[in-house]
Amino acid sequence: MMCNTRLSLSLGLSSTPPHQNNKGKLSTNDDNQELTLCLSTSSEFTNNYDNNRINPQLLGGVNSSVSSFSNTSSVKRERDASSFEEEVENLETKRVLLISPKGLVDHNDDDEEDVHDYGTRKKLRLTKEQSDVLEDSFKEHTTLNSKQKRDLARRLSLRPRQVEVWFQNRRARTKLKQTEVDCEILRKCYEDLKDENRRLNKEIQELKSLKKSQSFRVQLSAATLCMCPSCERTYGGGAGGATDNSTKISFSIGDQKPHFYGIPSQIH
Partner DNA sequence: GGCGTAGTGCCCGTTACTTCA
Partner DNA sequence: CCTGAAGTAACGGGCACTACG
- State the residues that interact with DNA by CB under 7 A: 19, 60-61, 64, 72, 75-79, 82-83, 116, 120-126, 131, 143-144, 146, 161-162, 164-173, 175
Pairing of strands 34-38, 47-48: unpaired
Closer Cβ to DNA, 175 or 199, answer by number: 175
Strands (E), 7-86: 7-11, 25-29, 34-38, 47-48
Closest CA to 27 of 19, 36, 18: 36
Least distance between DNA and beta carbon 58 (Å): 11
Least distance from DNA to the Cβ atom of residue 53, Å: 19
Please give the Cα distance from 226 to 236 (Å, whole number): 4
Question: Cα angle at 141 between 137 and 147, to 5 degrees?
Answer: 75
Nearer to DNA, 165 or 218 (CB): 165
Q: What's the closest the beta carbon of residue 133 comes to DNA, in angstroms?
A: 12
CB of 146 to DNA, least distance (A): 4
The least distance separating DNA from the CB of residue 107, rounded to whole angstroms, comes to 17
Task: State the pairing for strand pair 7-11/34-38.
Answer: parallel
Residue among 13 and 226 whose Cβ is closer to DNA? 13
Shortest CB 209 distance to DNA, Å: 49
Q: Which is nearer to DNA, 174 or 205 (CB)?
A: 174
Q: Which is nearer to DNA, 170 or 259 (CB)?
A: 170
For the CB of residue 89, give the shortest distance to DNA in the complex, in Å. Answer: 13
Whichever of 104 and 126 has its CB closer to DNA, that residue is 126
DSSP secondary structure string, 116-161?
Answer: --TTS-PPPPPPHHHHHHHHHHHHH-SS--HHHHHHHHHHHT--HH
> 84-99 and 56-70 helices cross at what angle (nearest 10)?
160
> Which is nearer to DNA, 156 or 228 (by Cβ)?
156
84: which residues sit within 8 A by CB, 6+ positions away? 17, 18
- Burial class (CB within 10 angstroms; exposed 0-12, middle 13-18, buried 19+) of 133: middle
- Tell me if 262 sits within 8 A of 236, measured CB to CB: yes
Per the CB < 8 A criterion, the answer to whether 230 and 257 are in contact is yes
Contact 227, 241 (CB under 8 A): yes
